DNA sequence: CAACTTCTGTGCGATACCGCACACAAGATT
DNA sequence: AATCTTGTGTGCGGTATCGCACAGAAGTTG
């Protein structure tokens, strides 16, 4: 086992934006959870027991149809959280959450979330704001699914993923992207080929490198920009505070295999 | 002017579900607003000043693309409310709200909503639960747009509208439905023809009558059922209470022309 | 009644995407 | 090296939907 440095809770923008006293209250109850590539964090019908705040992982939320077809409706990274039903009032959602880029998340158990909800403090306000941004993303996905080509949607998808990473490499096959966009793998192949020929990306066997981000944005549909702009209005980036010193004291948890 | 009986606040399920003391506190601050067919209740970029609780009107929320194409992502009737951004934390949303079936709504001004939010009472809990149901509807719309035929989506649309009416007649042209579904008018014509030939609906010049609701459900995609089921879990129907006696005392407001 | 507007029906070629089948290429396993 | 698995490229016919053009039908207005 190597001793890689633990990710810090402040890598998650929502946690980072909290006032020092709120951080001091909450952080002792956080648990660090490694999120391996392609692991399932949630499956329809189950009950979520934690809210997850990703630090360096990306999670996709997808709906599965009766015939097995699927579509991703949302991408969550360190700008957000997973498990809104815990404070919105439901037990779960008819969706599935899959780790799209390996990393970690800090999680807060349900009772603590409830406690914080009742306290009616800063965390609740942030969670609700994030939820509103989330709705925008889902809605724009609906519009995009209706009106835009696979080419455009692939660009949007790559950008959504890029924004939540600190580097420019994505680990996902065209088959996987097809599942996320709800289109055929061959359709993704065609679109990816065009992008590669234009020098926007390069890829091989599940490893995609983004070479020209500006061009990618230019080739994407407006949906990416609309959501980004709206999110920035709702969740303006707040300077990270440094409060916790002893990250090492936070326990590490292993997700049960699903 | 005729003296039709005013709709009662309790016709809105969320208001009806409130405890008597909450109703007593809130209802004096409600205003009745007539919602004429096709009027615009909200347009992207504006600031919403009220939360609207429809009693007998239906409102559609749509996103407009740069090229003018549009798609409805949500239908709101007496089961819900309009203006979630007022308590979720934003100023507005990049969407447009149009009255799809004439009727009325009671509205609560922003300061009162805020007050109620801070009180952290039953109304907030209900609004959040409704918001979660709303997310499910938007997400399912995204999936539906990706995977289902115009035929199926027309059925879903008719059912969504039917559920929010007390009768079986819809006043909307095929052109209008096309705008809502984000498809061509001709596509709607084809789908509607099939339904009429099967005796499921009959229609003429903007007036649609649903003749066989069961068949409509059978012909619809699963999306309708998924959302309905999820909504029923989140917002089980609560018996209506009768508290307010003097409905006539509630002021009637006219929406500014947009 | 005539003229006009609105709504609905229909035809036709173009296009995007699908489903399927298969070939090939890059790693992984033995 | 031989084999196997996984990921990617390609071709082909089928289908849903589009964009456009136009015709007819049902109300509306003058």
Q: What is the pLDDT of residues B176-220, one digit of tens each?
A: 999 999 999 999 999 999 999 999 999 999 999 999 999 999 999
pLDDT band, very low/low/confident/very high, at B240 (cuts 50, 70, 90): low
Stretch B124-138: mean pLDDT: 97
Can you tell me which residue has its alpha carbon closest to the C1' of nucleotide D9?
A189
- What superfamily in CATH does domain A1-148+226-258 come from? Jelly Rolls (2.60.120.10)
The order of strands in the sheet holding A31-35 is A31-35, A103-109, A50-54
Closest CA to the C1' of D15: that residue is: B149
pLDDT of residue A1: 44
pLDDT score of B253: 76
Average pLDDT over residues B22-49: 94
- Paired residues of A31 in beta bridges: A107
A185 touches strand D (CB under 7 A): yes
Split at pLDDT 50, 70, 90, the class of B92 is confident
Distance measured from the CA of protein residue B208 to the C1' of nucleotide C24, in angstroms = 56
Number of H helices, E strands in chain B: 10, 10
Distance CA A42, CA A54 (A): 14
Nucleotide of closest approach to A203 (CA, C1'): D8
In 3D, which of A134, A159, A171, A148 has the Cα closest to residue A218? A159
Alpha helices (H) in chain B, listed in sequence order: 13-16, 20-26, 85-88, 110-119, 122-147, 150-162, 174-181, 185-197, 213-219, 222-234
- Quickly tell me which residue has 């747009």 as its tokens: B145
- What is the H or E stretch that residue A215 is in? helix A213-219
CA distances from A235 to A17, A166, B87 (A): 10, 19, 15
Query: Residue B206 CB: number of other CB atoms within 10 A?
Result: 12
Q: C-alpha B167: how far from its chain's center? A: 15
From chain A, pick out residues whose CB is under 8 angstroms from the CB of B91.
233
In order of A160, B142, B154, the CA distances from A153 in angstroms are 10, 13, 25
pLDDT of residue A257: 44
CA–CA dist B156, B58 (Å, integer): 15
Our measurement of CA A203 to C1' D3, in angstroms, reads: 26
At B4 the pLDDT is 67
Contacts of residue B189, Cβ cutoff 8 Å, sequence gap at least 6: B174
CA distance A215 to chain B (A): 20
Residues of B near A (CB-CB distance < 8 A)? 63, 65-66, 69, 71, 73-74, 84-85, 87-91, 93-95, 118, 120, 125, 128-129, 131-132, 134-136, 138-143, 145-147, 182-183, 222, 226, 230, 233-234
Mean pLDDT of B50-70: 96
Does residue B122 approach strand C to less than 7 Å at its CB?
A: no
* Residue B45 CB in 7 A reach of strand C: no
pLDDT higher than 50, residue B257: no
Residue B65 has pLDDT above 90, yes or no: yes
Residue of A nearest to B144 (CA): A142
Fold held by B1-148+223-258: Jelly Rolls (2.60.120)
> CA separation (Å) from A152 to A62, A155, A192?
19, 5, 11
Residue B206 CB lies within 7 Å of the nucleic strand C: yes
User: Is B150:B183 a contact under the CB 8 Å cutoff?
Assistant: yes
Residue B76 forms beta bridges with which residues?
B59
Protein residue with the closest CA to the C1' atom of nucleotide D26: B205
Residues 169-188 of chain B: which lie with beta carbon within 7 Å of strand C?
173-175, 185-186
For A94, phi and psi rounded to 5 degrees?
Answer: -80, 50
Q: Decide whether A1-148+226-258 matches A149-220 in CATH topology.
A: no
Burial tier of B67 (Cβ tally within 10 Å: 0-12, 13-18, 19+): exposed
Residues whose CB falls within 8 Å of the CB of residue A67, separated by 6 or more in sequence, listed in order: none
Total beta-carbon pairs less than 8 A apart between chain A and chain B: 126
Query: Does the nearest atom of strand D lie within 7 Å of A196's Cβ?
Result: yes
Say whether B142 and A147 touch across the interface (CB within 8 A).
no
Assign a CATH topology to domain A149-220. Arc Repressor Mutant, subunit A (1.10.10)
Sketch the domain layout of chain A as residue ranges.
Answer: 1-148+226-258, 149-220
Give the global pTM.
Answer: 0.93
Nearest to A85 among B132, B140, B142 (CB): B132
Q: What are phi and psi of A167, to 5 degrees?
A: -135, -175
Mean pLDDT by 10 residues, chain A (258 residues): 74 95 96 95 93 97 95 97 95 94 96 95 96 98 98 98 95 98 98 98 97 97 97 78 61 61
């Amino acid at each position: 086992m190597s001793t890689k440095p633990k990710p810090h809770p402040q890598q998650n923008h929502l946690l980072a934006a909290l006032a020092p006293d709120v951080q001091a209250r909450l952080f002792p109850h956080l648990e660090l959870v490694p999120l391996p590539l392609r692991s399932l964090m949630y499956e329809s019908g189950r009950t979520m027991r934690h809210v997850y705040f990703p630090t360096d992982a990306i999670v996709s939320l997808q709906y599965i149809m009766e015939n097995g077809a699927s579509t991703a409706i949302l991408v969550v990274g360190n700008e957000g959280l997973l498990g809104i039903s815990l404070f919105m009032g439901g037990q779960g959602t008819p969706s599935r959450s899959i780790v799209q880029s390996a990393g970690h998340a800090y999680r807060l158990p349900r009772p603590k979330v409830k406690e914080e909800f009742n306290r009616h403090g800063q965390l609740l306000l942030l969670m609700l704001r994030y939820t509103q941004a989330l709705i925008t993303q889902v809605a724009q996905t609906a519009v995009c699914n209706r009106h835009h080509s696979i080419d455009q949607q692939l660009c949007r998808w790559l950008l959504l993923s890029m924004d939540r990473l600190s580097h420019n490499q994505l680990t996902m096959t065209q088959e996987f992207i097809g599942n996320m966009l709800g289109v055929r793998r061959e359709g993704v192949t065609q679109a990816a080929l065009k992008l590669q020929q234009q020098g926007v990306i390069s890829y091989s066997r599940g490893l995609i490198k983004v070479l020209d981000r500006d061009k990618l944005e230019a080739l994407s549909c407006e949906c990416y920009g609309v959501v980004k702009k709206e999110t920035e209005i709702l969740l303006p980036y707040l300077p990270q505070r440094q409060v916790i010193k002893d990250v090492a004291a936070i326990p590490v948890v292993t997700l049960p295999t699903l």
